[in-house]
Amino acid sequence: MNIRRQLILTAAALSLGTASVHAQNNVLRVGTDATFPPMEFVDNGKRTGFDIELVDALAKAMGKQVEWVDIDFKGLIPGLISKRFDMAVSAIYITDERKKVVDFTDSYYAGGLVVMVKDNNTGIKKIADLDGKKVSVQVGTKSVGYLTEKHPKALRVEVEKNQEMFNLVDIGRADAAVTGKPAAFQYVRTRGGMRVLEEQLTTEEYGMAVRKDSPELTKAVNAALAKIKADGSYAALVKKWFPAK
């Protein structure tokens, strides 16, 4: 191969490599566990929900395309740290424990833990009534730690998926479920037969988790969040996904 031809091929390879990097820089890989309506879930084979549409709006404001990575909730933080994706968005509460290993964007919604029981359950009227009862919780969520610390006498029934947690209450294998407020009220609105105790266990802030080595991404997402709040897009999503209960 003559030198001129070799130089041309080398230049072409470098050009393709640069194009590939630019294409990759235009993609935002986001990990989620789409089993938690109305935040993220699958409907007719398509991911949807508040978090899903919010990330799409943020990516558009940032000039990026979203590539979703499906993973169980308990694997979100480990998957983020191991660089399986760039950001984790899945109704994740901002906690001091999580902040030790990942960074968070500004809070994008206020939630909290609540107790959900069957309509005809007269044995659980207040939070203290959880003691001695079977309470279903999802592995890897703050519900597990909350019960362990605040209600050690409650009999935790830990499950992998959010829907399993509700199903156990529905069929009577658990007396109550402790979960996030949006998901609880969504279930009550759409399925019926359940009620949420008036007393809320905690007030929490949802945030998008980003690796500590990606401060520029955290800054960019925060800027995009401020932008869609200013132009009304954020308010429209809140109105759509959290109608008055």
Helix (H) or strand (E) holding 219: helix 215-230
Nearest alpha-carbon partner for 174 in 125, 130, 139, 216: 130
Q: Is the pLDDT of residue 216 over 90?
A: yes
11 — pLDDT class (breaks 50, 70, 90): very low
- Residue 243 pLDDT: 80
- Give per-residue pLDDT as tens, 179-207: 999 999 999 988 889 999 999 999 999 99
- Determine the Cα–Cα distance for residues 122 and 133; give it in Å rounded to an integer: 13
Reported as a single tens digit per residue, the pLDDT across 104-134 is: 999 999 999 999 999 999 999 999 999 999 9
Task: Say how far apart CA 150 and CA 193 lie, in whole Å.
Answer: 27
Whether residue 66 contacts residue 28, with contact meaning beta carbons closer than 8 Å, is answered with yes
Average pLDDT over the chain reads 90
At residue 14, the pLDDT reads 44
**239 vs 10, higher pLDDT:** 239
Whether the per-residue pLDDT at 59 is higher than 50: the answer is: yes
What would the pLDDT profile of 88-111 be if each residue is shown by its tens digit?
999 999 999 999 999 999 999 999
Q: What is the pLDDT of residue 10?
A: 45
What is the per-residue pLDDT for 18? 36
